[in-house]
């Protein structure tokens, strides 16, 4: 019987998320093989199909739908599969006595063709062995020989109920080796311990993925920094300020450089942010181990902090440098754009002044032409009046054409001027209405 209420669509999903990173109890002695494949945020279907292929090989039940994790029995091997944001992990556990911790890892019982076809790129592979408390203890010399003479890192964990050792190196079999000793851990505690150490190992690699990218980006940013300084010097050059063509070239170069800086940032920002996030998880898991020093050995926290902290600091430094360069390029571009705008405004002002001078000149010419037009119209008007007076004189009327033309001249000139002024006012009135 379910509750007679409306349930939130994500209620069960979010409740299941609390158990998405669960652990399995482990009984010592036991051997564990762990692999993590970088596959990106996509490719879920490919990984799901590959997991189902493994289940079918061992005759294990194949689920209709896979979530973020899955557990299954593959005979005497227990499989724990997890889907993370960027990578997929396979953990194979076998609780049984062993002669040598790393000579016969569990992964050797997995089909080679299935391993060969695993999607993604392998970022970490671990062979872990957990010895029971009744097995003979190993001194530092034996531990060094077990790890092929490499420097061993180790500490007491879970408040002294267990111990963990590793050289954190990749051996000839392609696996990193981790040895645990159960000195009073319950099966649940042992399961949590194994999971936390495997997570530390996986997340430390994911943290370091940003370091090569930071080094590569740093070289590109050094070149961009020098180029930006050169462009700033060119902007400060008085000759370049006086040459509009040079300013256009500067603006083009600055825009190109800014796009290059943004391209580097687009390629690296996600990786740097991920490195910081993974580093926080590593530190959290290390704290949960509750380590205590074993005399003569570095703890896992000391060893990893000495290597991860500078790597993350490098990523943060390069990321900050990218942001500063982008801001500087943006400021220089804005300054140059403002300078170009000022120059354009000055050119526009000079153009308007030139047009104003031409308009005034044209007005004066128009006034001159207007005066000449009055003279011309008067000339022809007086001529017409003269022809009329001569005609009247020829008809026998007592008319003096010369005197009449003389008297008509000022009248005709004034009438012509008055007519032109009226036409001019009408044109100006029409323009104002438009």
Average pLDDT over residues 96-102: 92
Q: Edge-to-edge strand order for the sheet containing 30-38?
A: 69-74, 77-83, 87-94, 30-38, 121-131, 176-182, 162-170, 153-157, 292-293
Q: Report the C-alpha gap between 19 and 183 in whole angstroms.
A: 27
How wide is the angle at C-alpha 77 spanned by C-alphas 102 and 38, nearest 5°?
A: 75
As beta bridge partners, residue 154 has: 165
Tokens of 192: 């949590």
Which of the pair, 96 or 335, is modelled with greater confidence?
Answer: 96
Chain centroid to CA 269: how far? 5
As beta bridge partners, residue 128 has: 32, 178
Q: pLDDT band for 42, please (50, 70, 90 cuts).
A: low
Distinct helix (H) and strand (E) counts, the chain: 10, 9
Per-residue pLDDT at 334 exceeds 60: yes
Helix, strand and coil percent figures for the chain, each rounded to 5: 60, 15, 25
Q: Which of 154-168, 207-221, 321-335 has the lowest mean pLDDT?
A: 321-335
Per-residue pLDDT at 18 exceeds 90: no
Summarised one tens digit per residue, pLDDT across range 203-218 is 999 999 999 999 998 8
Beta pairing class for 162-170 and 77-83 = unpaired
Q: Report the C-alpha gap between 301 and 290 in whole angstroms.
A: 10
Q: Which residues of 345-375 are buried (b: 16+ CB within 10 A; e: fewer)?
A: eeeeeeeeeeeeeeeeeeeeeeeeeeeeebe
Tokens of 292: 């205590």
Q: pLDDT band for 431, please (50, 70, 90 cuts).
A: low
Summarised one tens digit per residue, pLDDT across range 373-382 is 767 777 777 6
Average pLDDT over residues 278-292: 94
Helix (H) or strand (E) holding 396: none
Tokens of 34: 């762990």
Tokens of 268: 């690296």
The pLDDT value given to residue 290:
94
DSSP state string for 252-268: HHHHHHHHHHHHHHHHH
Backbone Cα Rg of the chain: 46
Average pLDDT over residues 259-276: 88
Per-residue pLDDT at 134 exceeds 80: yes
The pLDDT value given to residue 116:
93
The pLDDT value given to residue 105:
95
The four Cα atoms 188, 189, 191, 195 give a dihedral, to 10 degrees, of: 140
Per-residue pLDDT at 391 exceeds 70: yes
Q: Report the C-alpha gap between 270 and 334 in whole angstroms.
A: 27
Per-residue pLDDT at 1 exceeds 70: no
The pLDDT value given to residue 164:
96
Average pLDDT over residues 296-320: 92
Q: Report the C-alpha gap between 50 and 53 in whole angstroms.
A: 5
Where do we find the tokens 């029971």? 132
The pLDDT value given to residue 374:
67
Average confidence score pLDDT of the chain: 84
Q: Which of 43-52, 158-167, 315-324 has the lowest mean pLDDT?
A: 43-52
Q: pLDDT band for 368, please (50, 70, 90 cuts).
A: low
Per-residue pLDDT at 424 exceeds 60: yes
Average pLDDT over residues 174-188: 94
Where do we find the tokens 């077990």? 146
Summarised one tens digit per residue, pLDDT across range 239-260 is 655 555 577 777 778 888 888 8
**Hey, is 298 helix, strand or coil?**
strand
Per-residue pLDDT at 361 exceeds 60: yes
146-151 contacts, C-beta under 8 A, 24 or more apart? 146/101, 146/102, 146/179, 147/177
Most confident stretch, 34-43, 133-142, 368-377 = 133-142
Most confident stretch, 65-69, 220-224, 343-347, 377-381 = 220-224
The pLDDT value given to residue 433:
66
């Amino acid at each position: 019987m379910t509750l007679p209420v409306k349930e939130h669509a994500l209620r069960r999903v979010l409740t299941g998320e609390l158990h998405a990173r669960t652990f399995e109890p482990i009984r010592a002695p036991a051997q564990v093989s762990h692999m993590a494949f970088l596959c990106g945020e996509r490719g879920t279907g490919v990984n799901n199909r590959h997991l189902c292929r493994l289940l079918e090989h061992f005759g294990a039940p194949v689920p209709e739908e896979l979530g973020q994790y899955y557990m299954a029995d593959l005979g005497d091997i227990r499989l724990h599969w997890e889907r993370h944001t960027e990578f997929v992990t396979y953990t194979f556990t076998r609780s049984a006595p062993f002669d040598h911790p790393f000579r016969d890892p569990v992964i050797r019982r997995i089909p080679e063709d299935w391993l060969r076809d695993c999607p993604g790129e392998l970022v970490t592979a671990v062979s872990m062995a957990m010895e029971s408390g009744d097995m003979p203890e190993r001194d530092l010399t034996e531990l060094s020989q077990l790890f092929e003479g490499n420097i061993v890192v180790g500490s007491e964990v879970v408040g002294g109920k267990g111990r963990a050792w590793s050289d954190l190196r990749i051996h000839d079999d392609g696996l990193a080796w981790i040895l645990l000793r159960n000195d009073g851990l319950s099966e649940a505690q042992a399961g949590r311990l194994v999971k936390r150490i495997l997570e530390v190992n996986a997340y430390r690699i994911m943290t370091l993925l940003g370091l090569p990218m930071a080094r590569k980006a740093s070289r590109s940013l050094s070149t961009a920094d020098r180029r930006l300084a050169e462009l700033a010097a060119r902007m400060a050059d008085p000759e370049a300020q006086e040459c509009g063509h040079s300013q256009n070239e500067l603006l083009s170069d600055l825009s190109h450089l800014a796009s290059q800086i943004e391209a580097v940032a687009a390629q690296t920002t996600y990786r740097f942010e991920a490195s910081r996030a993974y580093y926080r998880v590593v530190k959290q898991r290390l704290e949960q181990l509750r380590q205590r020093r074993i005399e003569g050995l570095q703890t896992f926290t000391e060893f990893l902090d000495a290597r991860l902290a500078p790597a993350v600091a490098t990523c943060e430094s390069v990321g900050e440098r990218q942001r500063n360069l982008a801001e500087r390029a943006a400021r220089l571009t804005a300054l140059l754009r403002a300078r170009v705008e000022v120059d354009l405004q000055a050119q526009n002002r000079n153009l308007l002044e030139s047009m104003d001078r031409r308009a005034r000149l044209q007005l004066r010419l128009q006034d001159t032409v207007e005066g000449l037009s009055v003279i011309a119209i008067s000339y022809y008007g007086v001529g017409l009046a003269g022809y009329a007076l001569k005609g009247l004189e020829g008809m026998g009327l007592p008319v003096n054409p010369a005197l009449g033309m003389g008297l008509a001249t000022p009248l005709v000139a004034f009438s012509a001027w008055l007519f032109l002024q009226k036409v001019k006012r009408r044109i100006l009135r029409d323009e104002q209405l438009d």
